[in-house]
A = this chain, B = another copy of it.
Amino acid sequence: MKSKDIEEAKARASAMLRRARIVITPSERENMEVADLGFGDLKNLGIQIIVYENNDRYCAKELILFPRQICPEHRHPRVNDRNPGKKETFRCRSGEIYLYVAGEPTPRPKARVPKKYRSFITAWHEITLRPGNQYTLPPNSLHWFQAGDKGAIVSEFSSTSTDENDLYTDPRLRRVKK
């Protein structure tokens, strides 16, 4: 991504946090991860992340999604004998998020997915999260999500985060930092 686009995304995400009264430090703003996953289409596909803490025991992040931005389908597989894969809880703080997991497909889902990304989505069981709602994903379960029309801020609580182990359904996707 161009540094101008990254700065623009950081400014936009920071403004959303301010509106939601979520305070971050200047250094957290500076280190915000803007992930377009190599697609160069951040408006539709990608995510902004502030990592509050990631240590050997647990992890906590704030996820900021622009209106209708999609975090594409992936899972967190088993890492080793002591780590059966990342377990994570998404708690919606503001806006609205449509989370999709394996299971009975939801008729008339709320997500709107551009055609070019549809072929790499397989999970269509919908969970709608509004402020105060949360959902915990077991390790290694497929999931993806899209923010509603006003975007969303989601607190992620989880076991230790090791992005390099994530497996995306779309083999073209990769997690690129900044």
Contacts and interface: CB of A to CB of B under 8 A. Distances in A.
Nearest to A57: B159
Nearest to A87: B57
A138 B155 CA distance: 23
A53 interface: yes
A23 B134 CA distance: 11
Most B Cβ at <10 Å: residue of A58, A89, A94, A136? A58
Interface in A31-52: 52
Contacts of A20: 21
13 contacts: A22-B93, A23-B93, A24-B132, A25-B133, A52-B157, A53-B91, A53-B157, A55-B136, A57-B159, A58-B157, A59-B157, A60-B91, A157-B157
Interface of A: 20-25, 28, 52-53, 55, 57-60, 87, 89, 91, 93-94, 131-134, 136, 155, 157-159
Closest 3 CB pairs of A and B: A23-B131, A60-B157, A23-B132
